[in-house]
């Protein structure tokens, strides 16, 4: 059997407030969008920026930390994997798809949140 890799690395800014919810079983789920902007030079020499909006989901303890410390505009480094879900549109009956990043690690790149994240992580690590 051949092996494959599904790994994503992102750096960007959170586009709006994090949506933190809990499943009926009590599992935390955080959802937010991340703006990843790249700059590139066009053929005529002018610089252009292009922003890709990425949907991100985090689960369990990571979701709770994100819900507590991440705000609109927060700069984050995210590691995760791609996951695609599908459903039937209730109005048209068409099959719809959504691809998102399921985060496994988040690092705060803002100075204001790095200390809070470090303190929270140290509380979670048993010594």
Domain holding 96: CATH number?
Answer: 2.40.50.140
Look at the block and give the residue holding tokens 């959504």. 98
Under a CB-based contact definition with an 8 Å cutoff, are residues 31 and 62 in contact? no
Report CA 42 to chain centroid distance, whole Å: 29
Q: Which residue has the tokens 């719809």?
A: 96
Assess if residue 1 is contained within a domain.
no
Q: Is residue 38 part of a domain?
A: yes
What pLDDT, on the 0 to 100 scale, is given for residue 1? 75
Residue indicated by tokens 């499943």: 23
Q: Is residue 2 part of a domain?
A: no
Cα dist from 119 to 37, 104, 125, whole Å: 30, 19, 10
Q: Does the residue 3 lie in any domain?
A: no
- Is 46 contained in some domain? yes
Number of domains in the chain: 1
pLDDT value at residue 118: 52
Each residue's pLDDT, cut to its tens digit, for the chain (127 residues) gives: 789 999 999 999 999 999 999 999 999 999 999 999 999 888 999 999 999 999 999 999 999 999 999 999 999 999 999 999 999 988 988 999 999 999 999 999 987 655 555 555 445 544 3
Model pTM score = 0.80
DSSP state of 49: E
User: Which domain does 76 fall in, by range?
Assistant: 8-124
Residue 71 covered by a domain: yes
Residue 117 maps to a domain: yes
């Amino acid at each position: 059997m051949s092996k494959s890799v599904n790994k994503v690395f992102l750096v960007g800014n959170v586009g709006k407030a994090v949506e933190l919810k809990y499943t009926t079983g009590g599992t935390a789920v955080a959802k937010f969008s991340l703006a990843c902007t790249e700059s590139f030079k066009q053929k005529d020499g002018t610089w252009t920026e292009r922003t890709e909006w990425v949907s991100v989901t985090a689960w369990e303890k990571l979701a709770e930390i994100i819900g507590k410390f991440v705000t609109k505009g927060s700069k984050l480094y995210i590691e995760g994997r791609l996951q695609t879900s599908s459903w039937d549109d209730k109005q048209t009956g068409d099959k719809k798809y959504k691809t998102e990043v399921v985060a496994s690690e988040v690092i705060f790149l803002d100075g204001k949140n790095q200390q809070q994240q470090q303190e929270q992580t140290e509380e979670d690590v048993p010594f």
